[in-house]
Amino acid sequence: MIPGPTPVPETVLKAIGSHPIGHRSKEFQEIVKRTTEQLRWLHQTTDDVLVITGSGTAAMEAGIINTLSKGDKVICGDNGKFGERWVKVAKAYQLNVEVIKEEWGKPLNPERFRTILEDDDKKEIKAIILTHSETSTGVINDLETISKYVQAHGHALIIADCVTSLGACNVPMDQWGLDVVASGSQKGYMLPPGLSFVAMSQRAWKANQTSNLPKFYLDLAQYQKASLKNSNPFTPGVNLYFGLEKSLEMMQAEGLEAIFSRHSRHRAATQAGIKAMGLNLYAEESCGSPAITAVTTQGIDAEELRKAVRERFDILLAGGQDHLKGKIFRIGHLGFVNDRDILSAIAAIESTLHSLSLLRSELGEGVAAASKVLN
């Protein structure tokens, strides 16, 4: 029950366990062709969705270096560990970075983006870079509204880390006018780590023509050229493609609305269970991510609690990062997760707190609250 790697369905594992085939073979090209269309369906776009053998960070770095040039002014939203990361990446490529920062656990304020974009009379801002679902804190940022302000600016691109939001909540790339959407296989895709995905709008490709930042393995123009032949410029994770096709087939069978509804229900059930057992949500309920819930333990050592839950019930919870280590724990509920998994996690946490004489409510209230939501 962590935000990645997430559980992998048996059918996907079996597909990945098949003997590899040549990545230049006709058989593999057919798989690339099918998965490309499936990926467009998931991203709700008619534009390119390219596959890189790498992590979500590779996808985000690719989106940045393929659309921007040295010295370009960019605005980075920073309200957690991954917002911080994109600031570091942008600075590593000598971009002119301005940061819109919010306290960890709080969502980015769209109005701060509106103000800075409207004040940019000379149209110097080349991109807005932000995280949609901030995995470190369990916060979902208002990507739709921020994107509207970027569209009104007329010149800036919007580059979004959707690593734990894509496949967990609605991210309609074309409808929202998103330019670069990055994601990773080990989250909502229900796959092991190893593949990342970069969706590029036509505006992003136009910016690519003048981008002068160094790139080779992450040169998306090479990936686009190869994709026209249902291929890849480098050796891809062949067996992960086998699994990708199966996982996307499962997602299509469930349907986008059903997927989004399931994740919303699991978020609500988790939040209800946590509050009923006397613990507090780290992020406000209204901005909680459908992928992960962060819990503040208020004097209870979160690391000791995580250790006890794992030893007693073989359930792994995520810990806090950086200054939040020992102060919060995080429950991942994205991808191949069902109602039973949510109830099991809530029951395990509640039972463990009770065994440690740390439960602040009557035993069973957490499970009852979660069950009420799920029912």
Domain ranges in the chain with CATH number 3.90.1150.10: 256-374
Q: Determine the average pLDDT of the residues in 164-182.
A: 98
Distance of CA 254 to the CA centre of its chain: 20
Burial category of 179 from C-beta neighbours within 10 Å (exposed 0-12, middle 13-18, buried 19 and up): buried
Looking at residue 299, its pLDDT comes to 86
pLDDT tens string 316-373: 999 999 999 999 999 999 999 999 999 999 999 999 999 999 999 999 999 999 999 9
pLDDT tens string 77-133: 999 999 999 999 999 999 999 999 999 999 999 999 999 999 999 999 999 999 999
The CATH class that applies to domain 10-253 reads alpha beta
CA proximity to 257, closest of 49, 42, 89, 112: 42
Beta strands in 255-356 (DSSP E): 280-281, 292-296, 318-319, 328-332
Q: What are the backbone angles phi and psi of residue 227, rounded to the nearest 5°?
A: -65, -25
Q: What are the backbone angles phi and psi of residue 276, rounded to the nearest 5°?
A: -65, -25
Q: Determine the average pLDDT of the residues in 273-287.
A: 96
Burial category of 289 from C-beta neighbours within 10 Å (exposed 0-12, middle 13-18, buried 19 and up): buried
CATH architecture of 256-374: Alpha-Beta Complex (3.90)
How many whole angstroms separate alpha carbon 198 and alpha carbon 182? 5
Domain ranges in the chain with CATH number 3.40.640.10: 10-253
